Structures are given as structure tokens and as C-alpha cells.
Chains A and B, each alone.
Chain A
Amino acid sequence: NAGVMQNPRHLVRRRGQEARLRCSPMKGHSHVYWYRQLPEEGLKFMVYLQKENIIDESGMPKERFSAEFPKEGPSILRIQQVVRGDSAAYFCASSPPTKTQYFGPGTRLLVL
């Protein structure tokens, strides 16, 4: 049973470009979560999605960031017009309803 998959594992973007991060949940998991981790810090919640629905986006920056979890395909975290402060590790987790969240290996975003 494959775990949570994320790609790319590393992503380099120049300021002003767009970053797209993908997450495929574990088989049978209908809930997806995105977290951001800055160096030497804990993970910060960004958004919680179910298929075709955003349940909680209280941790998402108001501008440039968006997330989706379509009926078919992976969840996408999209960052438009990236800035250097967006450089971080972005982790996706998945779970069945009200169960433990299991994390993927993360995408390390570097903005030059």
C-alpha cells in the first residue's frame, strides 16, 4: 500500500513564477491537508480539503495561494507570483475521516 506521494520533491522557481505542488493521498483516504514548514520550525497548517470541497483554509495566505482536490487526480497547491519568503518545505497529509494524518515526503520549494 503506497503512502502519500508528493511531487516534485524539489522545485526551484524565480520570483514572479508560479509553483504547482501535487499530492496523491493514500489509497482509501478522502481527506487531504497541506502544511508548510520553515527551517528549524514546526509545521503550520494551511488548508484541509475533501474531494471537490475546501473544508478549512484558515491557514492559507489571503493572496497568491490556492488549493484544490478534484474528483479525479491529485490535490494541487498552487502559489502564484512566488516570492523568496515562500521558500519552505510543503507537506501534504491524508487521512480517512477523523483519523490519523499520514504525511508525504514533502516538496522543497526554493525561490531564487
Chain B
Amino acid sequence: GESVGLHLPTLSVQEGDNSIINCAYSNSASDYFIWYKQESGKGPQFIIDIRSNMDKRQGQRVTVLLNKTVKHLSLQIAATQPGDSAVYFCAENAISGNTGKLIFGQGTTLQVKP
């Protein structure tokens, strides 16, 4: 069935180090993937997205990598800062099916140590 999962529930990194958050998905029909950041008491905040016709996309301090062969998605955060501490969710969608439905993973908590 459909599922999006994350390999690690909590990731602790030192300020200034790079962070890598992983995600596995199982729906072959998914062609659009998004990473969201959620701080305590707030709604998910869009970070970066990628379509299935790409394998890498870069933003400001963030990079998303997509490996369709093994159905794996990762979010890399360069020079992690205390303000990056939050729960990170990957989500998938089959845009071609026009369902609009996002399937979220369980989330990885990123803790940044000063």
C-alpha cells in the first residue's frame, strides 16, 4: 500500500555541521515530492520540492536528492543552525492523477546542539 516513511525518528547534530534527513516511499505512481519543516505549535512550512523528472534540486542551504530506483528521498541542510531545529516531514503526491492528496511520513526531529 501507499506509505512514506523516515529512517530515523531523531537526528542530533552540532551547529555548523551538515544534516541529512532520509525518507523512503513506496508508491511508484508518486511524481512529486516535498519537504516540510514544522516547528512546535505551528503549521508545516514548505522547504523545497522536486519532481520525478529530476534527481537533485538545490535551494538556499538545502538540497533534495531523489533516487527513484530505490524510492528514496533525502534532505541535506548545510551549516545547520539552531533555527533549523524542528520536525521535518517528507510528503509525496501523484500530480498526474490530479488527486491533490499529499501522503506524509512520520517525521524526523532535528535537534541542533550549540
The tally of residues in A whose CB lies under 8 Å from a CB in B reads 26
A48 touches B104 (CB 8 A): no
Size range of the interface on B?
20 to 34
Most chain A beta-carbon neighbours within 10 Å: one of B34, B91, B101, B106: B101
A56 touches B99 (CB 8 A): yes
A4: chain B residues within 8 A (beta carbon): 43
How far apart sit A4 and B46, CA to CA, in the bound complex (Å)? 13
B46: chain A residues within 8 A (beta carbon): 100-103
B45 touches A42 (CB 8 A): no
Binding site for B on A (CB under 8 A): 4, 6, 31, 33, 35, 41-45, 48, 55-56, 58-59, 91, 93, 95, 98, 100-106
Given contacts A42-B4, A42-B106, 13 further A-B contacts (CB under 8 A): A31-B100, A33-B102, A35-B102, A43-B104, A44-B104, A45-B102, A56-B99, A56-B101, A91-B44, A95-B100, A103-B45, A104-B43, A106-B42
Would you mind naming 16 contact pairs between A and B with Cβ atoms under 8 Å apart? A31-B100, A35-B102, A42-B104, A43-B89, A43-B91, A48-B99, A48-B101, A55-B99, A56-B100, A58-B101, A59-B101, A91-B44, A95-B100, A100-B46, A102-B46, A104-B43
